[in-house]
Amino acid sequence: MKLEIEVTGAKILLTLPLGITVTETQVNMWLVMLGIAVFCIWLTHGLKVRPTSKRQIVAEYIVKTAENFVTSNMGQKWKWFVPYVAALFSLAMFSSLISLLGMYPPTSDLNTTAGWAIMTFILITFYKIKTNGAFGYAKSLTEPIFIMTPMNILGEFATPLSMAFRMFGNVASGTVVSALLYAALASLNNAVFGWLPGILGEAAEKLPILQLGLPAVLSLYFDVFSGVLQAFIFCMLTMLYIKSAAEVED
């Protein structure tokens, strides 16, 4: 018996001129964004100075938690950065959690995580140049000795690259492992129940008896735990890199 598993990326749903394609990644991300937008509008409608609804308490709690998350890592003057981190965290987290609904998680597409990592890279470089000046930034690449310059430039690009692949790898590998496990359990199912004679055997082969249970536990790790954790790590790294980029080195 031979197991053949094809692991692919997102389905292409629409092809526009100029070679622009719209895939499951984009559509699912839009659905996530729509869900977040609707949730926010529902949370914040009819806010009162003296809160009377649980909705408002939840909305205020979310805002304060996000503000606290950012300001405790970056300081009070980075309060304006809160919406970006909140958007990054919520989009990354729900894009991973969407796989619980059997949908394609946008974070298992390298383009998604690469885009977010490039944003972080742009912000890091912007703040390095803003803090040290263009010359100071260029000079910092030649330190401690001139020979190190190629290494330093590589190091600059390593940051977004590692961030993009960390998240992509965690989410995509979960999908791959899940697919492998399903295939393995299906063949095991065949092997265990396939020997039953006649119509009984055929029915047992089609019933996914062994596929129950174990994939759910695995999905709890790959989808829920890993998805939330990777979103958290991505936000943490973004904040810490940008903060250290904006700090004046003495």
Partner 1 sequence: MLNVVIASATLDFLSVNVWHILMAVGNLLILVLILKKFLFKPVQNILRQREEEINKTYSDADKALSDAENEKAEYQKKLSAAKSEADSLISSASERAKAESAEIIQNARAEAERRRKNADEDIELARRKAVEEMRDELGEMVIDLATKVVGKEIDPKTHEELINEAIESLGE
User: Which one, 37 or 148, has the nearer CB to partner 1?
Assistant: 37
Give the phi and the psi of residue 21 in degrees, each rounded to 5: -115, 145
SS3 state at 195 = coil
> Measured between alpha carbons, how far is 70 from 99 in angstroms, rounded to an integer?
27
Q: Per rule CB under 8 A, is residue 132 in the interface with partner 1?
A: no
**Structure tokens given for 235:** 């936000």
Which listed range, 29-37, 142-150, 210-218, 234-242, lies at the site for partner 1 (CB under 8 A)? 29-37
* 30 vs 221 by CB, closer to partner 1: 30
Residue 35 interacts with partner 1 (CB under 8 A): yes or no: no
For residues 8 to 27, the per-residue mask of contacts with partner 1, x marking binding by CB under 8 A and - elsewhere, is: xxxxx------xxx-x-xx-
Q: For residue 11, what are its two tokens? A: 């389905």
The CB-of-207 to partner 1 minimum distance in angstroms stands at 16
Other beta carbons within 10 Å of 197: 7
Figure out which of the listed residues 181, 183, 228, 236 binds partner 1, where binding follows CB under 8 A: 183
Q: Pick the closest to residue 132 from 238, 241, 246 (CA basis).
A: 246
Asked if 84 touches partner 1 (CB under 8 A), the answer is: yes
- Is residue 46 within 8 A of residue 38, CB to CB? The reply is no
CA 205 to CA 194: how far, in whole Å? 6
Query: Which residues are at the interface with partner 1 (CB under 8 A)?
Result: 1-12, 19-21, 23, 25-26, 29-30, 33, 36-37, 40-41, 43-44, 47-50, 56, 59-60, 62-63, 66, 82-84, 86-88, 90-91, 106, 109-116, 118-119, 172, 179, 182-183, 186-187
